[in-house]
Amino acid sequence: MKKEVPQKKEVPHDKYFLKSLHQEIDLYDRKLAYVEKYAQFDSAEDREGAEHKLLTKRASLAETAKKLAADGVEFNRTDLPRSFRAEADTGASG
């Protein structure tokens, strides 16, 4: 007898999931700003490594959020991370 392995439950990709993604991206934006301005590192390589790690995580979240928005998942403009609002403002005026 084989025991069936339970499948992972798929995360619903709805407006609430997108809102939490936007909040998490905004958190990473704030972490990056902190690292750039205030964090103390022993060397420039350590600083670059920390920034790269944060940027990598943020990039994957941003890619998912943009894909969901492109797929038509509704969102409130006020829920956008500050970095996304800046992109939207330049895109709308340019």
* Confidence at residue 26, expressed as pLDDT on a 0 to 100 scale: 96
Q: What is the pLDDT of residue 82?
A: 86
Q: Closest Cα to residue 26, out of 53, 74, 58? A: 58
Residue-range domain boundaries for the chain: 15-75
Structure tokens at 58: 């943020």
Residue 91 clears pLDDT 70, i.e. is over it = no
pLDDT tens string 37-56: 999 999 999 999 999 999 99
pLDDT in tens, 23-32: 999 999 999 9
DSSP code per residue over 62-76: HHHHHHHHHTT----
